[in-house]
Amino acid sequence: MALNDELTIIIPAKNEEINIPILMESILRQDYKQIHQTKVILGDADSTDQTREVFLSYADRIPVEVIHGGLPSISRNRGAKLASSRYLLFCDADIELIDKDMIRKGLEKMKARNLHCLTAKLYCNEGNWKDHCLYCLTNLIIRCSRYISPFSVGAFMFFERARFEELGGFNEKVHFSEDYFLSKQVARKHFGVLSRYFATDNRRFQKLGYWKMIKMFANTMLHSKDDSYFYRDHHYFD
């Protein structure tokens, strides 16, 4: 069976054996007609658990491939180099596509509005009131960014492959907000936000602390035009 030449899905991952089935099942629930012919590439950053094996167990339901990855930007770029489809969809391994029409609606919007980049809204599974407030604020900023400086989250990011390649992909020297560093280069008229949600967790808030995450996010917005800020080591992946 021929592969879908419209879309390739790329997932960076490290030690995500628990989360990968949640994401993959939500992908397979999508009402996109070509989902079972859509290549899904996993960029594995030397997982020490069963991430690779769990992911490959889906090979009888959807085309899958595991490649050697690294930090998210490296895994995404390596996956994109293997793609020949018109569009790319980057998904984090720890998300779930809540609405079953997310991929179909996303592609329809990309084509109808000639978009280069499209993201969606976040929802926190099992979060407390602080998590929900912070994600609501993030969603507001994402929507408002359409009029200022496009802010897409790499956890769910559609990209037109041709434009992605023109921009040089994700800057692998940027270890924090590499998704925003890329999306802010997209013209506002070619950036969109899908009126759908994907679910994620609050483990980054729990690990780094709410105040540090808020501070890092605010500084990112304040330094949006200062590229040197993004090249600093903010210890996000420590």
Domain ranges of the chain: 7-230
Query: What is the pLDDT at residue 213?
Result: 64
- The number of CA neighbours under 13 Å toward the Cβ of 85 is 25
Report how far residue 72's alpha carbon sits from residue 220's, in angstroms, rounded to the nearest whole number: 18
- Enter the DSSP assignment of 193: E
Contact 202, 129 (CB under 8 A): no
Task: Kindly report the pTM of this predicted structure.
Answer: 0.89
What is the mean pLDDT, run by run of 10 residues, along the chain of 238 residues? 92 97 98 98 98 98 97 96 98 96 98 98 82 83 89 96 98 87 96 95 64 66 67 58
Domain at 7-230: CATH code: 3.90.550.10
